[in-house]
């Protein structure tokens, strides 16, 4: 939090997992935000205090706080927009997708003055160029298309609708009472950073100020990191890599990029698109024999797990079916079992096992807590995972399929466990530290003392792939494939009295 007349920014304690679209209450005393670690929509006072949970959500792509003390938000696991009281409670759906019109998602809601109507974006496929900005009344459900080919709408109190098209901030005169906008759009000259899924980095104040992030070259690089922290950059160009895994033979990577899975040939420095069906295909996972790649996809509804031949010879085949999100995490060494995370609104993140022979899905860990990033041991007899049952995430190991004792591996926070392929060592993340623990499984299970291998600002696991580790280990256990930010850091620009400039460019007549 930073006041405009101050050069000091203060972190809000309790928002460490905040991800996407912090939203002020109308009186400015509260802030709503999405916690990607707990997968909860939360609120807290701007002057501090403990966060309060409002509802569970698979991921938030836009939220707006109305004068009636309700919050409208877009949940990636819901087909339309939802509304929940700002004091918390059971959310209700307020929009439905029109599948006959090829609508794929409703996102980025914004209340209009008076709280009786709101703006949002209808997406058709995964391109913002095909999106529509619409307004809808809460009481009647009447809907009006305002802009074709735009995203991230914001109401301007001076009588305009602002939105982003192709990285440009645009505006049209807009009558909020009649829900009518003129057809002629005006480029208001500001280039704005877009952030995926139709999001954009700008905001408006009721007093006439504009705040925005200009386009930045800051992206992510893939890098091999040795056990002593020495880095070796891959030739792959900087991009916003989300998730990635190395093939068993070490020659290719499966990479989540631009909401699709791509294959990258390390020796040839070449990219091949792998997925084409569905607007979200992410978190790829090679089968142990390297013949298939599993991933989650929304091509048939909620994000469940599919796989398809790695040589591109076949279409995706559905492996799991559920109304809840499934994130693939680890194969058993024989390729007969797949451990994955199910995001359940009641029991939170749970570890499930899929048996490939008959398609049977059954829970391995289903508790009131979050269990994430399950990882089969190289002999298939143990399952490592991370859980917040103690109040913070720690790494544990249990025998598979059980029963048997549970062993706590980390003691000062731990997540994203991964086994050394030799089965004698377990790696995990503790903040920015890569940790290692020596492990013995015979005659009984025992561990050594945890120690740090290296420390660095590498991307950690988070939405949308919180159920899986954000790195992978080389076959010899000596290097770690990770991603890190690169390029020019973003800056935040503030334009005072922006409404006056807007009225000069596009007189609203109001």
Q: How do residues 211-241 score in pLDDT, each as one tens digit?
A: 998 887 667 899 999 999 999 999 998 888 8
As beta bridge partners, residue 350 has 342
Does domain 219-486 bear CATH number 3.90.1150.10? no
pLDDT band at 465 (very low <50, low <70, confident <90, very high): very low
pTM of this prediction? 0.71
Phi and psi torsions of 504, nearest 5°? -70, -40
Length reported for the chain? 510
As beta bridge partners, residue 508 has none
What mean pLDDT is predicted for residues 316-325?
A: 92
The yes-or-no verdict on residue 382 having pLDDT over 60 is yes
For position 152, what pLDDT does the model report? 95
The yes-or-no verdict on residue 202 having pLDDT over 70 is yes
For position 464, what pLDDT does the model report? 36
Q: 23-216+489-505 — its CATH code? A: 2.120.10.30
The yes-or-no verdict on residue 466 having pLDDT over 60 is no
Reported as a single tens digit per residue, the pLDDT across 339-376 is 999 988 788 889 999 999 999 999 999 998 889 999 99
Mean pLDDT, all residues of the chain: 89
Q: How far apart are CA 488 and CA 470, in angstroms?
A: 23
Residues of the chain above pLDDT 90, percent = 61
What mean pLDDT is predicted for residues 498-507?
A: 83
Q: How far apart are CA 226 and CA 255, in angstroms?
A: 21
The yes-or-no verdict on residue 128 having pLDDT over 80 is no
Please, how many CA atoms are within 13 Å of residue 488, restricted to the half-sphere of its CB?
9
> What does the domain layout of the chain look like in residue ranges?
23-216+489-505, 219-486
Q: What tokens were used for 192?
A: 């704005």
The yes-or-no verdict on residue 34 having pLDDT over 60 is yes
For position 463, what pLDDT does the model report? 41
Q: What tokens were used for 451?
A: 């120690």
Q: How far apart are CA 115 and CA 128, in angstroms?
A: 26
Give the H or E element holding residue 60: strand 60-65
């Amino acid at each position: 939090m930073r006041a405009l007349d101050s050069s000091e920014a203060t972190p809000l304690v309790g928002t460490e997992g905040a991800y996407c679209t912090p939203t002020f209450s109308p009186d400015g005393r509260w802030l709503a935000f999405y916690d990607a670690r707990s997968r909860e929509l939360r609120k807290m006072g701007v002057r501090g205090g403990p966060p309060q949970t409002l509802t569970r959500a698979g991921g938030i792509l836009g939220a707006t706080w109305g004068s009636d003390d309700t919050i409208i938000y877009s949940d990636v696991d819901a087909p339309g927009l939802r509304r929940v009281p700002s004091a918390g409670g059971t959310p209700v759906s307020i929009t439905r997708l029109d599948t006959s019109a090829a609508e794929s998602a409703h996102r980025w809601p914004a209340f209009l003055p008076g709280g009786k109507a709101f703006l949002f974006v209808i997406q058709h496929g995964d391109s913002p160029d095909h999106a529509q900005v619409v307004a809808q009344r809460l009481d009647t459900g009447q809907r009006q298309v305002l802009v074709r080919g735009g995203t991230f709408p914001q109401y301007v109190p001076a009588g305009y609708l602002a939105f982003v098209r192709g990285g440009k901030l645009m505006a049209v005169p807009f009558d909020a009472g009649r829900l009518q906008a003129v057809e002629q759009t005006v480029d208001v000259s500001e280039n704005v950073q877009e952030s995926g899924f139709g999001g954009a980095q700008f905001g408006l104040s009721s007093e006439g100020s504009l705040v925005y992030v200009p386009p930045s070259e800051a992206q992510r690089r893939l890098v091999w990191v040795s056990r002593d922290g020495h880095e070796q950059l891959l030739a792959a160009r900087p991009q916003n890599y989300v998730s990635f895994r190395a093939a068993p033979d070490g020659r290719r990577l499966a990479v989540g990029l631009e909401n699709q899975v791509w294959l990258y040939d390390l020796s040839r420095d070449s990219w091949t698109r792998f997925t084409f069906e569905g607007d979200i295909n992410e978190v790829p996972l090679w089968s142990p024999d390297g013949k298939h790649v599993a991933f989650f996809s929304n091509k048939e509804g909620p994000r469940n797990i599919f796989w398809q031949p790695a040589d591109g010879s076949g279409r995706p085949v559905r492996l799991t079916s559920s109304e809840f999100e499934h994130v693939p995490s680890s194969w058993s060494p024989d390729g007969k079992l797949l451990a994955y995370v199910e995001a359940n609104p009641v029991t939170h993140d749970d570890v499930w096992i899929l048996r490939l022979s008959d398609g049977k899905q059954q829970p391995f860990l289903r508790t009131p807590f979050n269990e994430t990033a399950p990882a089969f041991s190289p002999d298939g007899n143990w399952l490592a995972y991370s859980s917040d049952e103690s109040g913070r995430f720690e790494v544990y190991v249990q025998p598979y399929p059980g029963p048997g004792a549970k062993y706590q591996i980390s003691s000062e926070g731990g997540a994203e466990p991964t086994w050394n392929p030799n089965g004698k060592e377990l790696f995990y993340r503790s903040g920015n530290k890569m940790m290692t623990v020596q492990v013995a499984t015979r005659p009984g299970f025992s561990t050594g003392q945890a120690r740090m291998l290296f420390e660095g600002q590498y991307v950690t696991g988070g939405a949308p792939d919180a159920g899986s580790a954000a790195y992978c280990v080389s076959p010899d256990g000596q290097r770690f494939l990770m991603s890190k930010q690169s390029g020019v850091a973003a800056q935040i620009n503030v334009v005072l009295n922006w409404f006056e400039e807007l009225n000069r460019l596009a007189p609203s007549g109001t």
